Amino acid sequence: MPKQKTRKSVKKRFKVSKTGKLLRRGSCGRHLNAKKSQKRRRRQKKTKVFIGKMAKKIRKVI
């Protein structure tokens, strides 16, 4: 049976950390930032940990 190919779109959006956690970028941080508070914009910069059943599926296609 051949190997499963990597989904390139998923590979660009997610990153696996050294400990095996799945990291992602937050949404709503690209534009229309003038009306958002400084605190909210600061939180958007941080990467978030992706958890749950969906994380297992994503890890499989990376």
Question: Which of 24, 30, 34, 9 lies closest to 55 in space, CA to CA?
Answer: 24
Q: Does residue 1 belong to any structural domain of this protein?
A: no
Say yes or no to pLDDT of 39 above 90.
Answer: yes
pLDDT in tens, 2-38: 888 888 999 999 999 999 899 999 888 889 999 999 9
Looking at the structure of the chain, the number of domains it has is 1
SS3 55: helix
Single-letter code of the amino acid located at 13: R
- 16 within domain boundaries: yes
Residue whose token pair is 């749950």: 52
In CATH, what number is assigned to the domain containing residue 33? 4.10.410
Helix (H, G, I), strand (E, B) or coil at 42: helix
Query: What count of residues does the chain have?
Result: 62
The residue segments making up the domain with residue 16 are 8-61
